[in-house]
Amino acid sequence: MSANETAGRLPVADRAAIFGAVKRLIVEDRAAFAGVVALYVLAAGAGAALPVMLGDVIDGIGTGWTASRVDLVCGAIVGCVIVQLLLLRTGRKLGYRLGERAAAKLRESFIARVLRLPLGTVERAGTGDLATRTSGDVGAVAELLRKTGPEVAIGAIELVVLTVAAFIVNPLLGLLFLTGAPAFIIAAKRYLRLASPVFLSERAAMSEIAETLTASAAGSQTVAAYRMQAERGEAGYARAETHMGRLKGIIRLQTWFFPATDLTFLTPAVVVTVVGGVWFLNDWVTVGEVVAVAMLTLRLDGPVFRSMMSLSEFQMGGAAMARVEGVHLMPDEVREAAPEGAEVRLDDVTFGYGDGPDVLHGLSLHPRRGERLVVVGPSGAGKSTIARLIAGIDRPRRGSVTLGGAPVADIPLEVLRRKVILVTQEHYVFTATLRENLNLALDVTDPDARDEGEAGDAALYAALATVDARWVADLPEGLDTMLGEEHHELNLAEAQQLALARVILADPDVVILDEATAGIDPGSAGNVEASLAAALNGRTVIAIAHQLQAAESADRIAVVREGRIAEAGSHAELLAAEGAYASLWWAWKGVAA
């Protein structure tokens, strides 16, 4: 991946941060965690007791045990089998619940952190990176906590218990039991060292695929208009090829690691049988001890195999956890400025995106309180950038953007969003009722804001009527109609009207409309804008317009060219001046100036 491609990506947590997050989850539910571990230890102990008791039976028969005593121990062996199954089943059930609770806490914490991220940071990270962390990575971590992690934990506990049992049977044979450990430790250390960056790069490659596909899908009309299908297709194939290469790297690691782990139980089984047999002939050990420890080595197959099969998912979950926890490494914005009033000012503002060139050059703009200001200009002139700066999404490189005398980017978001609302062409309809979608705009700090009584419904219908949302009358359940996928889906124009209705309900001091009526039928767009202007009377409205039908009725028009205010005034004044605005107006009307 090039530097440009990785620029702006959200960070990835290191191993210490991951362990810290896991430790935090364990501490928060330590009683349940201790109980699950205890059940796993007891289950492993019951399983290890089987070969130990069988060895005792073999030696006991040789030393003259009675049939009743043999039957008693064999009955105990059967009892251990039943106890192990019950303990293991209970432990898995409780462990799954523990993992679900931990996954839920992690998911809630992650979503809460994402919602606190500055919009500029989110946009620089890219939709693909954030989308894969929010969906795929969080899902992988949830699977790690509720299934893969417990499987590896069970395997580790069984390995420890089996090792302890071998030493209890006979310390000399216990040493032989460990002959496979060096090969496993060397292979595991090498695998873990090599696998971590490979799995992280695989998750990053997934982000790049999502980013490319999302961009191509969102801009499908532009792709079609400029006949860029082949180019976008090649970009998608390139990302997929990169991802395939990362997956091949994972498979190459596994082709040598998996066979190496087989030596963990095959080597000690052979060594214990052969060397233990020689020691038996020399009366150093009993035949029952050799049989017991040999069977313990064979029982290594279960935990080693389960751990081996779960290790890939464990590594993927660990890589996903690093990306999920990486979001928490983003520093919180310190926003403590307190605005006095709602006057908007841009003074000598210079701004550019990332490390790119300046988009605005010493721009100054002073919308008057309660004024309807329309900002026009050619594409790429910097109109939408002005909207982003006033909304506090970005900070200027030089100069100042203030609201009520306070730098907009330093005003706490909960304060800023009550005073300034930015409405763009992109609107989100949540899977919820129409009433709930509208109530999102209300001030949640107001105890009366969520009133869903008759007066509340009247206010909601009034807001929808103001933006000419006639489609509401056809909804089967009115305000209680479910919206979103698999329910009643809104088209672009209806979603825009819903967004504009939210603005009316929110009743902010400053409204920024960045082509907010672009998807509405041109025949009714003017009526919507006029109704919206009437509803927002007394509020400062800054409308970013690419089409000029909104400019004619504005109180004032500002023309932006090459990142500067070329001229400003009323529609009549600017036409009379025969400058930049007049040229744009007559060109839009299709009349030669």
More confident residue, 568 or 227: 568
- Into which CATH architecture does domain 15-329 fall? Up-down Bundle (1.20)
Which pLDDT score, from 0 to 100, does residue 31 have?
A: 92
What fold does the segment set 344-589 form as a domain?
Rossmann fold (3.40.50)
DSSP 33-53: HHHHHHHHHHHHHHHHHHHHH
Which tokens sit at 273?
């049988």
Rounded (10°) angle between helices 301-326 and 15-28: 100
pLDDT in tens, 30-52: 899 899 989 999 998 998 998 99
Which pLDDT score, from 0 to 100, does residue 2 have?
A: 36
pLDDT in tens, 489-532: 888 778 888 888 888 888 899 999 887 666 556 555 555 666 66
Q: Contact, 395 vs 350, CB < 8 A?
A: no
Which phi-psi region, left, alpha or beta, contains residue 486 (left: φ > 0; alpha: ψ -120 to 50)?
A: left
**pLDDT of 446 strictly over 60:** no
Which pLDDT score, from 0 to 100, does residue 348 have?
A: 95
pLDDT in tens, 374-415: 999 888 888 989 999 999 988 999 999 999 999 999 998 888
Of the chain, the percentage scoring pLDDT greater than 90 comes to 27
Which pLDDT score, from 0 to 100, does residue 559 have?
A: 93
**pLDDT of 63 strictly over 60:** yes
Which pLDDT score, from 0 to 100, does residue 519 have?
A: 57
pLDDT in tens, 185-199: 887 788 777 877 887
* pTM for the predicted model, two decimal places: 0.63
Residue carrying structure tokens 């462990």: 95
DSSP 245-283: HHHHHHHHHHHHHHHHHHHHHHHHHHHHHHHHHHHHHTT
Cα angle for residues 105, 109, 113 (degrees, 5° grid): 170
**pLDDT of 82 strictly over 90:** yes
DSSP 73-136: HHHHHHHHHHHHHHHHHHHHHHHHHHHHHHHHHHHHHHHHHHHHS-HHHHHHH-HHHHHHIIII
**pLDDT of 203 strictly over 70:** yes
More confident residue, 461 or 485: 461
pLDDT tier at 454, thresholds 50, 70, 90: very low
* Cα separation, 551 vs 529, whole angstroms: 11
- For the chain, domain boundaries: 15-329, 344-589
More confident residue, 332 or 19: 19
With b meaning 16 or more CB within 10 Å and e meaning fewer, what string describes 396-408?
A: beebbbbbbebbb
Amino acid identity for residue 238 in this structure? A
pLDDT in tens, 236-286: 899 889 989 888 888 888 787 777 777 777 888 899 999 999 999 998 999
Which pLDDT score, from 0 to 100, does residue 452 have?
A: 43
**pLDDT of 534 strictly over 80:** no
**pLDDT of 147 strictly over 50:** yes
**pLDDT of 5 strictly over 90:** no
Q: What is the mean pLDDT of the chain?
A: 84
